[in-house]
Structure 1
Amino acid sequence: MAKRETVKKAEQLVEIAMGCNDASHDPSHVSRVRDLALSLAQEEGLSSTTDSMEIVELAALLHDIGDYKYLRDSSEEKIVENFLTEEGIEENKKQKILAIIKGMGFKEEIAGLSKVEYSPEFGVVQDADRLDAIGAIGIARCFTFGGSKKRVLHDPAISPRTCLSKEAYMNKEEQTTVNHFHEKLLKIKDLMKTKAGQRRAEKRHKFMEEFLKEFYDEWDGKA
């Protein structure tokens, strides 16, 4: 794992940069992703390599700083790179961390990243972030984010979009919170990169399916 002093500074940076975000993308989300990533890395056999664990931990901690959904100023896009440079992270590790952060988003998968070869470190960090987007926590985060954007909860007249491009995915106007399950969350299980991530995703995916069935039954007055 990463040097403790650097990790502590990264945790502090997360608190500063993300402390004012809504609860779907706050420091607690980052903490969960870090714990999940390290756990997945252990299961995937990366723990024998100190450099790999350092890359995984720092990428997981820093992955949402400068997220386009919360960007207030273009200078925020350089916060992570500047931090890694100031901390004296060697260039090879720094570039690997930055590559993971840049490529791990769902919008990048839509743009074709899934066809590109990826590192084991990338796989566990991306899977950890995606596990936090599904299951019980994922449901809570989905509705939290939708509420923060004053998005309609559900409208049967608005169908989920299909065959999304990166640009269409980023444009969420006139979309409902429940449609996000169909446009992204229910697809995540089949996009997991690691065996360990796939195993955990199965349970979380099933929980979402059961939730949606109950939701639609209640919406229609059948339950």
Structure 2
Amino acid sequence: MGVTARDMEERQRRTLQMAEKLVESTMAGRDASHDAAHAFRVRDLALSLAMEEGLDNHSLEIVEIAALLHDIGDYKYSKDLVEDTSIVENFLNEEGLEESKRHKILGIIKGMGFKNEVAQIFCGDSSLEFGVVQDADRLDAIGAIGIARCFTYGGSKNRILHDPKIPPRQNLSKENYINKSENQTTINHFHEKLFKLKDMMKTEAGRKRAEKRHIFMVDFIEEFYEEWNGRT
């Protein structure tokens, strides 16, 4: 007797449960900007965008797993600032996912980073699955949540809040963006990255949601400068 639809559903449920546990265990102890809650928010956003874009159940599984696992090997939390997908690769192999799904999920994760587009590196994936996962991650980087995450990460690195003498960096290379030893401020991160994300959305659903979050963020920074300069 072959594998039934019910068997497949049970396997998918188990894989998702194990992915959630992996996220919680591997991302424990991180600051709140890139913790398990971030991964779960991105998963929920990605599924919402995927359904709005009309993706089928096969694609939804890829989207959900990629969104959940996308930050496990984040270079910012590695000793050598190198992205490491080995934990994710081992997990996908152990769960017995089809090779095509494993390849797709890993391709999405490896191509998602802002650093790649800074360097104009083609990720090799222009699919809707990639688009909704990347858009979901970027939506979580802007708006009210994005502001909170930005200041949380900056604080965790003892980064200067704001210094008018340190201008935002222009024409960033991948190396400059990754190099965390350069003089940086938390406020400059809005100009160097966060304000750019609205126009980098890949899906129509992502663009619609980004608009509101972007406006909220711009208003916040304008108010910040007013207060910093004692004008309000």
- Tell me if both proteins adopt one fold, taking TM over 0.5 as the criterion: yes
The aligned amino acid for 2:113 is G
Structure 2 counterparts to residues 74-85 of structure 1, below 5 A: 77-85=85-93
Structure 2 counterparts to residues 120-135 of structure 1, below 5 A: 120-135=128-143
Say whether residues 1:150 and 2:152 are aligned partners. no
How many angstroms does 1:144 deviate by? 0.1
Residue equivalent to 1:37: 46
Separation of aligned partners in 1, 2:120 and 2:225: 33
Q: Which has the higher Rg, Structure 1 or Structure 2? A: 2
Separation of aligned partners in 1, 2:170 and 2:124: 23
| Alignment root-mean-square deviation, CA | 1.7
Residue equivalent to 1:64: 71
1:13 counterpart (1, 7, 22): 22
2:126 counterpart (99, 118, 121): 118
The answer (yes or no) to whether the contact 2:162–2:186 under 8 Å persists in 1 is yes
**Deviation larger for 109-118 or 97-106:** 109-118
Say whether residues 1:164 and 2:161 are aligned partners. no
The aligned amino acid for 2:75 is Y
The aligned amino acid for 1:128 is A
1:96 counterpart (86, 96, 104): 104
User: Which runs of 4 or more aligned residues in structure 1 lie more than 6 Å from their structure 2 counterparts after TM superposition?
Assistant: none
Task: Quote the sequence identity (%).
Answer: 67
Structure 1 length as normaliser, TM-score? Answer: 0.95
Separation of aligned partners in 2, 1:114 and 1:88: 29
Separation of aligned partners in 1, 2:87 and 2:131: 23
How many angstroms does 1:57 deviate by? 0.2
Structure 2 counterparts to residues 206-217 of structure 1, below 5 A: 206-217=215-226
Deviations 1:47-73 (A, max 9, x none): xx2220110000000000010001148
Deviations 1:122-174 (A, max 9, x none): 00000000000000000000000000000000000000001111111111321
Deviations 1:69-96 (A, max 9, x none): 0114879530000000000010000000
Report the CA distance shift for 1:96/1:117 in structure 2 as closer, same or farther (over 3 A): closer
Structure 2 length as normaliser, TM-score? Answer: 0.91
The aligned amino acid for 2:162 is H
1:108 counterpart (113, 116, 120): 116
SS at match of 1:11: helix
Report the CA distance shift for 1:69/1:43 in structure 2 as closer, same or farther (over 3 A): same
Separation of aligned partners in 2, 1:98 and 1:51: 16
Say whether residues 1:53 and 2:57 are aligned partners. no
SS at match of 1:66: coil
Aligned length: 221
The aligned amino acid for 1:210 is D
Report the CA distance shift for 1:116/1:88 in structure 2 as closer, same or farther (over 3 A): closer
Deviations 1:161-220 (A, max 9, x none): 011111111113210000000000000000000000000000000001100000000000
